[in-house]
Amino acid sequence: MVHANARGAMHEAVVRAVHGFKGGMAAAAAAGRDAAARAAKGLARDEDVMSVKEVVAYLNMVMFPRQSEEDVFCARPGFVMMYDLTPLKRAAPTTKKPPASKFEGDNGRVKVDRGPSASASGASTDGGDRSAAPAPSGAVTAPRATATSGATISPHMEKLELALQETMDSALLAEEAQSKLEALLAKEQKLQSELAATKVPQVKLDFSDMPSFELDAEAREYKGDPDDRREILAHRKRIEKESDRLAVAKEKWIAGRRKEAKQAAKVQANATRNVKLSALRGEIAQAKKAVQQTFSVATSHAKKLERLRSRATAAQQHEAELASRKREAEAYRAQQQQERAAKKSKIQLEREAQKLQDAERKLKEAEQRAKVRAEAARYPMDDNELVAYDAAQAKEQNRDPWPAVANGTAWKPSAVDVSQMQICEFFSTFGRILKPSVDEFGVEYLNTILDDSDLTKLSKLYVSLLRVAVTTTTYGIEALVKTWSDALEFSGTFPEIMKQFAKEKSRVGQIDAVTLSTINALTEKRIGMFTPEEHTRVLDWLCGECFEAPEVNKEVNRRVKALEDLSKEKESDKAIENAFEKEYKKLAPQLRDANALVKNASDELIQKVQAHEALITLPQSDVEVPTELQSDVRAFLEARSLLKETEAKKNEIAAQAAKRRRQFQEERIRSNCLGQDRNGTKYYWNLSYSSGALLAIHVDGTWSKLTTEQQLREWSKSLNTKGIREHRLHKNVAEIRAELVAAFRQAELEAMNAFPKSSQRTKVERWNEIAARETLSMEGAKRIIQLLMADVVNCEVSAPDGTMSGWRIWGRELEKTTELTEMIRYLMQIEEAMVEMCDLPRDVTAKDANGSAINASNERLMASHEWWELIIPSDEKKAGKRLWRTNQERAIWQEAMSTSDTYARIAYGAAMLESYSRPLFEFLENIKKRAKRESSRFADYTSYDDGYDSYGQRT
């Protein structure tokens, strides 16, 4: 419970803060609440401070009502006198009566809407004219003019005056009690200051009862060994430490005795003042109690006065309302008679005017329908004809012709940009049928992997393209193509295969000189040293070669057939969609009413529906479901069912259309063109898997793009949908507009948060050092040699050191090596091991002991051919136990490997060796299987004979 002192302090702070305040009630209440919180600090808890609602109620009681927000808050006279406030001049209260308004009553009769009734309080608290005294807060005042009003107020007059007098008297008593309390508090403060200023007389201390703080002789005496110097010194230290402790204790005892003496002297010197202070505190307690009592009485008297004011005002308003109703009823009856006569004449005039308007409207509607039918028969027309027709119509109608198409921002892509877009579009279209398959990607991703020093991702593109492209050169070199395909299974072989494939294409003139020179540069530099432009040129050429491959042609034929089937399904779905649209138009009024019924359903109706649905869900044995429903519940259920069925059908059609668009996108064989405008400009979106812009390719070969919502909006407005091409273009764009806008926003967000472009290419020396490592080719060569080693070990061929266990050490050393010469040595050793386990190749030339004839022949052949051209595998079936067909073929391969300066050639040479050795290992494996079968058959015969004796009897 809040203490009375705290409540009184808060009330006083509110009145002082708001008296003279100018502003709204909310601001005044906030100011009053802050003042109450400051006043109650230290007297009450935070939760006991007056709330804003309590402050507003208190202000309505202690303040005069205001006529507008411009008036200042003015406290009533009793509170002005109680808190010694500065009297303020109030604005004169208004006496204007609000105008009456008519409205229809429940019985159909016209009633008059009266504003707040005027009231006049006869008890004025400010000593002014009683006929202009203020009413309670919220009421409108009026002068006390009629005898009726005076008669109404007179019964309350004496009570109001008596209550006012009691309020003022109690306020004076409270103020006197407060003044007395303040005087006593001042007196107490003065007496306390005198007590603090009193000087204590000098006192004489008595130390007669002070205990002894000296060590006795027995404690000082040393009783130990007199010859033990360490014990003697320790005894002395203990004596010194104990003496120091006793000295400190003596000082503490003396200080305590001195403090007690001073306190006793001070009490003795101020004995009279302390008595006075105790008596004064008793008087202060009584004064506080008197203040609390007088303040409570004053508060109750103020509340009683406010209640009497409210009653008097209500009585005055009631009387004035009765008189006003009587006058209004008389005026209403007279007005009603006049309105009846005017209404009859007005209805007659309106009927005649309506007939003329209906005739004119029907004539205009017929003309408009004829004009619309004529225009509808004309459109859509050819776009070029539409431009001329619109220009003629604009001239006749004195308006501007249809604006030109807004093409957005001009864009000048370079040849490299166009090639990169073609590469991305190829992989987006046919990347799923490649091996390894490549997911869709955009130009940004392509630029990222082109700028990456690690060729892992880029090599995947090369391998997937080469695997398809090499199949276009199968005439006469089927075995070589198969070798290429087998070699592409291993990483790092594609640079050498790409050089060979490019030379084969150059023989038939199917490669341009720039691309050929770029690929031939691999003899001098590594594939990792290629610039992004060189990579783009080579990849673009490989994509073009893939279009001629049988695998891609077969996929294109399949997709053409699938697109034809999808077009037929689209026509069928279009018929279903048109039928639904017709049905939807017929059901439009019912759907509108049903939607309004469901949205505007009352809570009671919803509860009824929920109760009915709960009954339906229960088992039939538990409760009996009523067969007849209430009309409102049945109407609600039918309306909701109709809306759900219509929405489900609409969603089904939209989902089918979205599914069909995805199928068209998946089965496309070229970039999807959204359409053309009147100028023949073609528009593409999601070209090369880049959805951040709507690209436009003009007839003259220039480009432009739309990248923002504003540009898309302006472009859509500039399209004339009355034209055939632009109508189709606008429709196609409208279907994907939401996806377009989302893609534009996503592209803008990614551009803001994009990482800075890599600077690896700027460090040329570091880049060339990384590219020269040929990590992929080196790992691929190691992988192939390890596979060959496993096959050789399986055939039980000795290692180069002559032992079978040596292969383990040989394999570990191979894994650790990174030098090119060491890799060549390991490749030669594994080839030598494979030759030892097979038949020797045929001799095609005479030779001496050093094989000089073979070497001379190879030198003559390699002067005009590449090494790999001299050992192209034959289509004839190779002998089962032979690795090389001829010794010359083997010598050429060894020469090429030993003189190799790239890991790519080593990896390809190892891949060739792996491809050539497959028939050999298959032959040896078959021999093993046959030998195993024969040995197992002999063992079966032996076990069978062991069961019979020499006469054929079972033992």
pLDDT single digits (tens) 260-274: 877 777 766 666 777
Banded model confidence at residue 173, pLDDT cuts 50, 70, 90:
confident
Q: Which residue has the higher pLDDT, 378 or 638?
A: 638
Are 824 and 683 part of one and the same domain?
Answer: no
The 10s digit of each residue's pLDDT in 455-465 is 888 999 999 99
Whether residue 105 lies inside any domain: the answer is: no
Which whole-number Å values give the CA distances from 629 to 591, 601, 605, 658, 899, in the listed order? 22, 17, 12, 41, 98
Q: 258 vs 682, which has greater pLDDT?
A: 682
Residues 86-104, mean pLDDT to the nearest whole number: 57
Q: Are residues 791 and 900 in the same domain?
A: yes
Check whether residue 638 and residue 490 sit in a common domain: no
Q: Does residue 301 sit in the same domain as residue 171?
A: yes
- What pLDDT is attached to residue 624? 47
Identify the weakest region by mean pLDDT among 135-139, 160-164, 240-244, 688-692.
135-139
Q: Residue 657 above 50 pLDDT? A: yes
Find residue 694's DSSP bridge partners.
Answer: 685, 706
Read off the pTM. Answer: 0.54
Count of domains for the chain: 7
pLDDT at 955: 47
CATH code for position 360: 1.20.120
Please say if the pLDDT value at position 555 is more than 50: yes
pLDDT of 772: 63
Task: Answer yes or no: is 164 within a domain.
Answer: yes
Residues 580 and 698 in one domain: no
* Residues 295 and 393 grouped into a single domain: no
Domain stops at, among 601, 631, 666: 666
| Residue 307 structure tokens | 């209640």
Q: Above 60 in pLDDT, residue 127?
A: no
Averaged pLDDT, 512-530? 88
Check whether residue 880 and residue 795 sit in a common domain. yes
Evaluate whether residue 751 is within a structural domain.
yes
Asked if residue 543 and residue 470 are part of one domain, the reply reads yes
CA–CA separation, 661 and 569 (whole Å): 12
In the predicted model, what is the mean pLDDT of residues 150-175?
A: 73
Question: What span, in angstroms and rounded, lies between the C-alpha atoms of 684 and 694?
Answer: 6
Residue keyed to tokens 């009566």: 97
pLDDT in tens, 367-397: 888 888 877 777 778 888 888 888 888 888 8
Question: Which one, of 461, 448, 445, 463, lies nearest residue 688 by Cα?
Answer: 445
pLDDT of residue 656: 87
pLDDT for 931 equals 67
Domain boundary among 699, 729, 762: 762
Q: Quick one: pLDDT at residue 626? A: 52
pLDDT-above-70 percentage for the chain: 81
Q: Nearest Cα to 688, choosing from 424, 929, 865?
A: 424
Q: With 50 as the cut, is the pLDDT of residue 749 above it?
A: yes
- Structural domain contains residue 145: no
Least confident residue range of 52-66, 510-524, 628-642: 628-642
Q: Please give the residue that has the higher pLDDT: either 937 or 805.
A: 805
Buried residues in 71-80 as b, exposed as e (16+ CB within 10 A): ebbbbbbbbb
**Of the ranges 114-118, 282-286, 375-379, 662-666, which one carries the lowest mean pLDDT score?**
114-118
**708 dihedral zone (left: phi>0; alpha: psi -120 to 50; beta):** beta
Res 139 pLDDT > 60: no
Residue 114 pLDDT > 50, yes or no?
A: no
DSSP labels, 654-713:
HHHHHHHHHHHHHT-SSPPEEEE-TT--EEEEEETTEEEEEEEE-TTS-EEEE-SHHHHH
CA–chain centroid gap for 630, Å, is 47
- Please check the confidence at residue 575 and state whether its pLDDT lies above 90: no
Q: Tell whether 427 is covered by a domain.
A: yes
Q: Residue 917 is part of which domain span?
A: 776-937
Q: Among residues 269, 300, 318, which one ends one of the domains?
A: 269
Predicted pLDDT of residue 419: 92
- Specify if 597 maps to a domain: yes
CA distance 526 to 768: 9
pLDDT digits (tens, 9 = 90+) for 928-937: 777 655 555 4
Residues 594 and 644 in one domain: yes
Q: How confident is residue 540, by pLDDT bands cut at 50, 70 and 90?
A: very high
The answer to whether residue 504 sits within a structural domain is yes
Report the pLDDT value the prediction gives residue 124, as an integer from 0 to 100.
37
**578 and 688 share one domain:** no
Count the residues in the chain. 955
443 and 541: one domain? yes
Domain assignment of residue 308, yes or no: yes
> Do 535 and 454 fall into the same domain?
yes
Q: Which residues contact 766 (CB under 8 A, 6 or more apart)?
A: 760
